[in-house]
Structure 1
Amino acid sequence: MRNEISEQQIKEYQDKGFIIVKNFCSREEIDLLYQTALNDQAMSKNALDLNDQSGKKTKLSLWFTPGNDVFGYLTRSNKVVKAVSQILGNSAPVCHYHSKLMQKEPKVGGAWEWHQDYGYWYKNQFMFPEQMMSVLIALTPANKENGCLQVISESHKMGRINHGFTGEQVGADMQMVDNALKTMELVYAELQPGDALFFHSNLVHRSEANFSDYPRWSLISCYTLQSNIAYKETSESWKIPVDVVPDEAILNWDHESLSSADFLKKENDPALKESGWENQV
């Protein structure tokens, strides 16, 4: 089967906290996704701006329930869901937590500060970070010049570290990040359109601002297992098994607009609200 995740890749994920799968999506699939991202008014209408600590804006559109749009077909596709299931290595059904379109524009796209995804999701009170992961698919080239993702290999083995606010973002305790950088390998996840990065919920990562002349757009879909529990998450998608569709749905099935998607509103994000301990890091 296309894009089958090998035992060696699963071992690498367990060891390093991430794997890169080249050409996970075809050029035709990426072209369709990127054009939809550019042209579907729902994406721009529901984009959130988050300031980094320098004041530059990072832009994203985040929604929970995967629908019958082209992005929904990708996040529900057999190749993605099977890969997630293989990597997480659990018999529980895979659930889609949320997806977000990251839009880092030339010259103005801001940075993402050092963080773990579970640094955010801890506030949603998910119980088992080992049962959560993210899948980043590059829609445009991602390189050092335009602010590709940087990851600290093996940092997921540290477990969750404290997070506080840096700008409007949730950022990791920099003392522990500095310790990790002295101890483990820093990797620039340079990707071509269609490449996929699968990474652990506790992997420490960041991205620089985009100072290049070219955009860096990517889709990040986050998954959890139904056996995981969230005690402070108001959306419903995290506990509903993915309604898997065949891979050919992405290109061949009729697509709806994203206008009916359940986009996150900035004021409703618990990760951006004070919980009392952020100022202690």
Structure 2
Amino acid sequence: MDDSVFNGYDVTEKMMKSYKDNGFIIIKNILPPDELAQVREALENPKGVRQHAYDVEDGDNEGMFSRMTCWNSPGDDITGLLARSDKIAGIAEKLLGEDIYHYHSKLMMKEARTGGRWQWHQDYGYWYQNGIMFPKMMTINIAIDKSHKINGCLQVLKGSHKMGRVDHVLDGQLGVEPERLKLAQGKFEKVYAELNPGDAIFFDCNLLHSSSPNTSEFRRWMLAMCFNTKSNNPVKAHHHPFYTPLQRVPNSAIKACKDPLNMNGKDFLDPKSSTLADQNITKEIKT
């Protein structure tokens, strides 16, 4: 097994070392089939988080775009219980080494033949602009569909988080400054983070990552959950939250969820009021 791929939810010394050395770890089957089916059903329901979706244009490929929904509070629906669970929040807290809170979550939708690319970037390249002083943050992507090279899976530069934050420039989307990117690509191994449905990748906020357009016939949906640390509370108000205690739940709460479409209090992002630096938003989907 690759040194970045694991089974099981206990954070071992090997997992911690891999995360620190590589900037990411992959955990297989973090959503077993029954839980995955519950989550997928809720995400596909037009009364769920999808109703708040908007477009993010590719920038390079005319007619290509991704769809996204973003919310600040985890809430009590099935996506909120998942974000607050021991196997998501618990692992994130152990990897980051201190108390965490939910910064925001996103449903990222690359539809077949139209799903656009994401430029090479660091999440902290965006979040730095929000008054967050330290890169003590992470993102967790869970594959809802098969996420492989053919349909525009996540690509990462292994170990690139050790560079620290690098400059980003606006070129269609906000991405890493081209000359620095070229140097990084010559130094760090590019890894296609291919995931099967229910697999998850946990990655450092300074890890360089991107994804290609989805020109295949296969949809690629990804649920992303972003966490910040308590000690890293933003120093200015913006469109994502300050520290809010995370109400953790056991893993069993996911399967036991009685109200998977409870949208109360999730605080969905309004693309018209967010910053381009954080979300690369160009227009809102009309539904």
Q: Could you say what secondary structure the match of 2:250 adopts? A: coil
- Write the distance in 1 (CA, Å) between the matches of 2:89 and 2:184: 31
In structure 1, the partner of 2:158 is: 153
What SS does the corresponding residue of 2:228 show, helix, strand or coil? strand
Q: Mapping of 1:55-204 within 5 angstroms?
A: 55=62, 56-90=64-98, 93-129=99-135, 131-167=136-172, 169-204=173-208
Compute the displacement of 1:15 (Å): 0.5
Q: Which residue of 2 aligns with 1:276?
A: none
CA distance in 1, matches of 2:234, 2:157: 27
Contact 1:123/1:232 (<8 A) preserved: no
CA contact (8 A) 2:52 2:69 kept: yes
Paired residue for 2:281?
A: none
Over residues 214-245 of structure 1, what are the superposed CA-to-partner deviations in whole Å (9 max), with x where a residue is unaligned? 10001110001111021234356440121001
Q: Percent identity?
A: 40
Residue identity opposite 2:96 in structure 1: L
Residue 283 of structure 2 is matched in structure 1 by none
Contact 1:223 1:238 in 2 (8 A): no
Which deviates more from structure 2 when the two are superposed, residues 21-30 or residues 233-242?
Answer: 233-242
| Matching residue of 2:213 | 209
1:21-80 alpha-carbon deviations (Å, 9 max, x no partner)? 111111111111111111142423211211122242111100010111000000000111
Select the residue among 15, 23, 31 that pairs with 1:17.
23
The 3-state SS of whatever aligns with 1:227 is helix
Q: Cα deviation per residue 1:226-277 (whole Å; 9 max; x = unaligned)?
A: 110212343564401210011111111312525332111112212448xxxx
Question: Which residue of 2 is the match for residue 254 of structure 1?
Answer: 258
Q: CA deviation at 1:18?
A: 0.5
Report the AA paired with residue 18 of structure 1: F
Question: Which one of the candidate residues 38, 46, 69 is aligned to 2:44?
Answer: 38
More off after superposition, 43-52 vs 25-34: 43-52
Per mean C-alpha deviation after superposition, the further-off stretch among 226-235 and 143-152 is 226-235
For structure 1, the residue ranges without an aligned partner over 5 or more in a row are 274-281
Amino acid at match of 1:262: D
**What per-residue deviation string (whole Å, max 9, x for no partner) do you get for residues 141-161 of structure 1?**
000000000000011011111
Q: For the structure 1 residues 234 and 256, does the alpha-carbon distance in structure 2 shift closer, same or farther, using more than 3 Å as the test?
A: farther
Kept in 1, the 8 Å contact 2:148–2:194? The answer is yes
The SS at the match of 2:151 is: coil
Displacement after TM superposition at 1:140 (Å): 0.6
Does the residue aligned with 2:128 lie in a helix, a strand or coil?
helix
SS at match of 1:180: helix
CA–CA distance in 1 between the matches of 2:134 and 2:277? 21
Q: 1:238 to 1:28 in 2, by over 3 A?
A: farther
Distance 1:247 1:238 in 2: 25
Unpaired runs of 5+ residues, structure 2, are: 1-7, 279-287
Q: In the alignment, which residue of structure 2 is the partner of 1:266?
A: 271
Deviations 1:101-121 (A, max 9, x none): 010000001001110000110
Which stretch shifts more, 101-110 or 28-37? Answer: 28-37
CA positional deviation for 1:132:
0.3
Counterpart Cα distance in 2 of 1:128 and 1:208: 29
Q: d(CA) in 2 for partners of 1:231 and 1:88?
A: 20
Work out whether 1:53 is the aligned partner of 2:59: yes
